[in-house]
Amino acid sequence: MDETLYSAETNEQYLQFAGYDYDKKNIENLSKMKYLVSEMFVRSFSEPRILLLSSIENISDAITKPFELKLHELRGSKIKNRDFKYGGKQVSWNTWRQFNSAEIDHKKRKIVFDDFVKKTKYIAPVINSRFKKIRKIYSDFSDKVDENHKGLTSPLDGYLISEKITLSKLKKLVSDMGSRATTRFRSELNFGTELIGKEPEYYDDFYFFRNRIFQSMEKYFTKINPVVSVRRTLGSIGFDFSNIHFDTDDRPNKYPSPICFFVKIPDDIRVLYKSESPYFNLSSCYHETGHAIHASSIDQDLNYWEKYKFPMGIAEIFSILIESLTRNPLYLKDIGITNDKVLSDLIWRNKFMELFFVVFYAANSLMKMEYWNRNLSIYEASRLYEKLIRKYMGLEVPGEYWMLHHILPEAIMYVPSYMIAAIRAAELETYLSNKFSDKWWNEPSAGEKLREIMARGERINLEEFSKLDQNIFMKEICSS
Ligand SMILES: [Zn+2]
């Protein structure tokens, strides 16, 4: 039942993101049914544990839905600047990144940043109430989950159980990565003027950098069609695309960046894509296709939870692996980018963004871990965030900024999973290079191996290629 509901719900979400008519009433009904099924499951079963945890998550999602919707609404209505416009309307949280990407006058960006930071006072109470409620729901189910009967002390425990990692290990991993990246990051930041045309300051955030620093390279990628290119590469090593549907049409209400939906694993996987800026789209299209081939390669005879309930730290391995092709000079040469200056610039800029990713995500992850673990208030969380950003990024950013992030004020954890997956993706890439070829994307036997790894779904044998050793990844991004 859970799978049927999940499929129906994902289908509606797909229609919504694709810019088609979708049934709002149906979405509400499905979410109610999902809640009932989860409640029933939690009352009657305690095994399998993954399903128990996902049921608690469903219950928590459903109960806190009104807060989530309120947060979305306030972001559009209250986080808004009266002085500047984007697309004919006052800049709001929703158009902030586009405004930052297009605005040439840095002073205007600074004003909007400062204004939005002040206006977090409108969303702080909702974030606080929602997280408090989530904490309460998890503590109500606490005795059910922990096999040692210590109970769940916070929603963070649920996350750690599904990622199969302990808090102390995760903390150490994340803070070690942050410390290793920080010196290099700060010295590269000195070349900021070359990257973004100005001295980097506190309001030049990760997303601003990500948009700006590839702008001069875009023209070299206009002739590459990402969908054609990624299908050709992966098709040549045996990936079957018959269960993956790419929607490349441009509809006005279609979601701007590429996104993948697992409507039914492994038979119905859908990728939405519309062309915008060439290089960014190339990498994000490869990323989403990585998700798609993973889901379509999962063995259909596995149990429901083994097919669907793998954590982000596993899901993102394959998307990051396929995306990394778009940063690999050997691969880029294969698809026709032959200008050496462009290739070396691209590598440098990508490495810088990966360093930025590590220092920024280290601060994000550590703040969220402490938030749950030490039961911080929103004010305390902001002060801690300020401190962590200073420590890892070397910038004085107002701590309230975390509430303006798209993930931090919404997800229980989520952010460190990207770091875990980045480590594993680098290990997998090394494994494939050593076992097959530096150009493993040309080797059908490498494709076969990948499918064998992916086929196991949640039962993936990570030991085959990963020790969760950060060295490969960190050496790669800290090398010159
Ligand atoms: Zn992803």
Q: Do residues 100 and 139 both lie within one domain?
A: no
Residue 23 has pLDDT above 90, yes or no: no
Distance from Cα 115 to the centre of ligand 1, integer Å: 31
Quote the DSSP letter at residue 217: G
Q: What is the pLDDT of residue 150?
A: 57
149's tokens: 């009967």
> Exposure string (b/e) for 418-457, b if CB count within 10 Å is 16 or more?
bbbbbbbbbbbbebbeeebeeebbbbeebbebbbebbbbb
Distance from Cα 94 to the centre of ligand 1, integer Å: 21
Q: What is the pLDDT of residue 406?
A: 86
Distance (Å, rounded) from C-alpha 383 to C-alpha 125? 16
Distance from Cα 77 to the centre of ligand 1, integer Å: 29
Residue 126 has pLDDT above 90, yes or no: yes
Q: Do residues 276 and 188 both lie within one domain?
A: yes
Residues 6+ apart with CB under 8 A from 6: 34, 308
**Looking at residue 339, which CATH number applies to its domain?**
1.10.1370.30
Q: Do residues 324 and 395 both lie within one domain?
A: yes
Kindly state whether residue 196 falls inside one of the protein's structural domains.
yes
Distance (Å, rounded) from C-alpha 364 to C-alpha 97? 19
Q: Give 167-223 pLDDT, tens digit per residue.
A: 999 999 999 999 999 999 999 998 888 888 888 999 999 989 988 888 888 899 999
Q: What is the pLDDT of residue 145?
A: 63
Kindly state whether residue 394 falls inside one of the protein's structural domains.
yes
Distance (Å, rounded) from C-alpha 186 to C-alpha 355? 9
Give me the torsion for CA of 413, 170, 399, 355, rounded to 10°: -110
Kindly state whether residue 178 falls inside one of the protein's structural domains.
yes
More confident residue, 7 or 72: 7
Distance from Cα 290 to the centre of ligand 1, integer Å: 8
Residue 238 has pLDDT above 90, yes or no: yes
Question: In the listed set 108, 143, 178, which residue is the last one of a domain according to the structure?
Answer: 143
Q: Give 281-334 pLDDT, tens digit per residue.
A: 899 999 999 999 999 999 999 999 999 999 999 999 999 999 999 999 999 999
Distance from Cα 221 to the centre of ligand 1, integer Å: 22
Distance from Cα 318 to the centre of ligand 1, integer Å: 9
Residues 6+ apart with CB under 8 A from 191: none
Residue with tokens 């779904």: 457
Q: Do residues 40 and 112 both lie within one domain?
A: no
More confident residue, 405 or 281: 405
| % residues pLDDT > 70 (the chain) | 98
Distance from Cα 291 to the centre of ligand 1, integer Å: 7
Average pLDDT over residues 326-351: 94
Phi, psi of 283 (to 5 degrees): -70, -40
Distance (Å, rounded) from C-alpha 117 to C-alpha 75? 12
Identity at 246, one-letter amino acid code:
F
Of 151-165, 257-271, 439-453, give the lowest mean pLDDT range. 151-165
Give me the torsion for CA of 277, 278, 282, 285, rounded to 10°: 40
Residue 138 has pLDDT above 60, yes or no: yes
Q: What is the pLDDT of residue 462?
A: 97
Q: Between helices 415-435 and 167-189, what is the axis angle to 10°?
A: 80
Distance from Cα 293 to the centre of ligand 1, integer Å: 12
329 preceded by cis ω (within 30°)? Answer: no
351's tokens: 């490495």
Kindly state whether residue 270 falls inside one of the protein's structural domains.
yes
Kindly state whether residue 453 falls inside one of the protein's structural domains.
yes
**Neighbour count for residue 383 (Cβ, 10 Å):** 14
Q: What is the pLDDT of residue 390?
A: 97
Q: Do residues 160 and 138 both lie within one domain?
A: no
Distance from Cα 454 to the centre of ligand 1, integer Å: 15
Residue 381 has pLDDT above 90, yes or no: yes
Distance from Cα 369 to the centre of ligand 1, integer Å: 21
244-247 sheet: strands from edge to edge: 244-247, 268-272, 259-264
Residue with tokens 């649920």: 158
48 preceded by cis ω (within 30°)? Answer: yes
Q: What is the pLDDT of residue 151?
A: 60
Distance from Cα 421 to the centre of ligand 1, integer Å: 10
Q: Do residues 184 and 89 both lie within one domain?
A: no
Q: Do residues 266 and 206 both lie within one domain?
A: yes
Distance from Cα 434 to the centre of ligand 1, integer Å: 25
Distance (Å, rounded) from C-alpha 85 to C-alpha 385? 29
What residue spans of 297-438 are helical by DSSP H? 304-308, 312-323, 329-334, 340-373, 378-393, 415-435
76's tokens: 């559009």
Q: Do residues 296 and 414 both lie within one domain?
A: yes
For the chain, the average pLDDT equals 93
Distance from Cα 287 to the centre of ligand 1, integer Å: 6
- Using DSSP, state whether 468 is helix, strand or coil: coil
For 76-194, where are the E strands, in sequence order?
A: 80-86, 89-92
Distance from Cα 45 to the centre of ligand 1, integer Å: 31
Q: Do residues 182 and 105 both lie within one domain?
A: no
Kindly state whether residue 325 falls inside one of the protein's structural domains.
yes
What number of H helices and E strands is found in the chain?
22, 5
Tell me how many domains the chain contains. 3
Cα–chain center distance at 201: 25
Q: Give 239-260 pLDDT, tens digit per residue.
A: 999 999 999 888 878 887 789 9
Please check whether residue 289 is in contact with residue 322, taking contact to mean a CB–CB distance below 8 angstroms.
Answer: yes
Nearest to 165 by CA among 462, 465, 471: 462
Q: Do residues 104 and 162 both lie within one domain?
A: no
**Neighbour count for residue 305 (Cβ, 10 Å):** 19
**Neighbour count for residue 284 (Cβ, 10 Å):** 20
Q: Do residues 333 and 458 both lie within one domain?
A: yes
Distance from Cα 83 to the centre of ligand 1, integer Å: 35
Kindly state whether residue 84 falls inside one of the protein's structural domains.
yes
Distance (Å, rounded) from C-alpha 473 to C-alpha 478? 9
Identity at 400, one-letter amino acid code:
E
Residues 6+ apart with CB under 8 A from 329: 343, 344, 346, 347
Distance (Å, rounded) from C-alpha 427 to C-alpha 262? 25
Kindly state whether residue 148 falls inside one of the protein's structural domains.
no
Please check whether residue 270 is in contact with residue 263, taking contact to mean a CB–CB distance below 8 angstroms.
Answer: yes
Identity at 110, one-letter amino acid code:
K
Q: What is the model's pTM?
A: 0.93
Region of residue 151 (left: phi > 0; alpha: psi -120 to 50; beta: else): left
Q: Which residue range is the domain that position 333 belongs to?
A: 154-480
Q: Do residues 250 and 354 both lie within one domain?
A: yes
Distance from Cα 319 to the centre of ligand 1, integer Å: 6
